[in-house]
Amino acid sequence: MQPSADSLHFGNYAGALLQWIEMQNTHDAVFCVVDLHAITVPQDPQQLAATTRKTAAQYIACGIDPTKSTLFVQSHVAAHSELAWILNTVTSFGEASRMTQFKDKSQKQGSDNATVGLFTYPILQAADILLYDANVVPVGEDQRQHIELTRNIAERFNQRFGETFVVPEVTIMESAAKIYDLQNPGSKMSKSGESPQGILWLLDEPSALIKKIKSAVTDTETDIRFDPEKKPGVSNLLTLGSLATGKTVADLENELSGAGYGALKTAVAEAVVDLLDPIRTRTQELLADPAELDRILGEGASKAEEFAEHTLAKVHAAVGLLPRV
Ligand code: AMP
């Protein structure tokens, strides 16, 4: 994830972190905070280092275990930028131009002002993936096109220069829960959401979480039923409650049957506070000792670097760059 906000939100937790935490038990997992991606749009230099630490601290507080997984900051492993340059040279302008995320993001800034870095963003992302021989890249649907590009780049490179890269599978997390904005349950919860009341930040104080959940938009009926089309607000609350309690949505529907929306909101608010309170406290503890956090990230970077340098050396040899003695 990009370190582009002070706190991750509940959508990031449900849609990404929960899967990552499970995958570290079954896979040799590599996670990084992509600060080089974050600087492709205007950002505040005073803030970037702090948000990078905060994002890493939240990964750990949510359950990413740096002794099981490799956890590091992207810019700490120079091979990411170096491989991205080489991959730039095997990516055609046409295929990079077809990336819809660039079109969307650059339109927002006015196309002439969008940076070349924003344009080549997916190629840096390809480097992030290909450096580690990744078989599986767990992403949301919005990233499908970028992973397809990564596959195309890897296949083309292998064809032109000999087998070098593992071609990753596109692993779309269909089952990952989607969390919607509490004030506008037709839209995904997003850090750029229009109403601050609609977003549950992982680092929100309990009083703020309770206030936001209690003022969530529902509907004019009274029955508590999971029906995302007709009852998006209530369904979103049920999803939140299910994730926070570990109960199924059906169990919650049964338990709360006839109790009214007030009771639903109270139950969801309590469960979300119980889940996020320890995460907030743990994040604060980690941030109170930045030297220890930096040590953990440094160790992760060393582990990542060893693998990445090995891949980069293979790439240099394949392309024909003169080895340094
Ligand atoms: P972003 O910072 O928006 O690129 O999101 C980082 C990760 O969180 C990606 O894997 C997204 O698919 C996931 N994510 C973001 N927002 C939501 C949401 N509202 N519901 C579920 N997953 C989300």
- The residues, ordered by sequence, that sit 6+ positions from 308 with a Cβ below 8 Å of its Cβ are 77, 79, 80, 83, 131, 132
| Residue 318 pLDDT > 80 | yes
Is 214 in the active site?
no
CA of 11 to the centre of ligand 1 (A): 6
Q: Residue 174: its pLDDT value, please?
A: 65
Question: Looking at 188, 214, 303, 314, which residue is catalytic?
Answer: 188
Radius of gyration from C-alpha coordinates of the chain? 21
β-pair partners for 315: none
Question: pLDDT band for position 92 (50/70/90)?
Answer: very high
CA of 199 to the centre of ligand 1 (A): 13
Going by alpha carbons, the residue nearest to atom 1 of ligand 1 is 1
Q: Which atom in ligand 1 lies closest to the alpha carbon of residue 139?
A: 10
Question: Looking at 191, 214, 247, 314, which residue is catalytic?
Answer: 191
Give the residue-averaged pLDDT of 62-74: 97
Q: Which atom in ligand 1 lies closest to the alpha carbon of residue 142?
A: 12
* Residue 132: closest CA among 168, 81, 91: 168
CA of 101 to the centre of ligand 1 (A): 14
CA of 160 to the centre of ligand 1 (A): 35
β-pair partners for 256: none
Mutation test residue for ligand 1: of 6, 10, 12, 190, the one with most atoms within 8 Å of CB: 12
CB 131 within 8 A of CB 81: no
Is 188 in the active site?
yes
CA of 259 to the centre of ligand 1 (A): 32
Tell me which of 52-61, 98-107, 182-191 is least confident.
Answer: 98-107
The pair of structure tokens assigned to 56 is 């890493």
Mapping DSSP to helix (H, G, I), strand (E, B) and coil, where does residue 231 land? coil
Q: Residue 175: its pLDDT value, please?
A: 62
Tokens 């079109």 correspond to: 103
The pair of structure tokens assigned to 85 is 């340059």
HSE value, Cβ hemisphere, 13 Å, CA-based, for 208:
13
- The residues, ordered by sequence, that sit 6+ positions from 304 with a Cβ below 8 Å of its Cβ are 30, 32, 70, 72, 76, 77, 132
- Per-residue pLDDT tens over the stretch 205-255: 999 999 999 999 999 999 999 999 999 999 999 999 999 999 999 999 999
- Per-residue pLDDT tens over the stretch 160-185: 999 999 999 987 766 678 899 999 99
Give the integer Cα–Cα distance in Å for 303 and 313. 16
The pair of structure tokens assigned to 78 is 């120079």
Residues of the chain above pLDDT 90, percent: 86
* Residue 206: closest CA among 278, 286, 285: 278
CA of 190 to the centre of ligand 1 (A): 7
Q: Which atom in ligand 1 lies closest to the alpha carbon of residue 12?
A: 8
Ligand 1 residue neighbourhood (C-beta within 6 Å): 1-2, 11-12, 14-16, 139-140, 178-179, 188-190
- Per-residue pLDDT tens over the stretch 244-291: 999 999 999 999 999 999 999 999 999 999 999 999 999 999 999 999
Going by alpha carbons, the residue nearest to atom 4 of ligand 1 is 1
Is 247 in the active site?
no
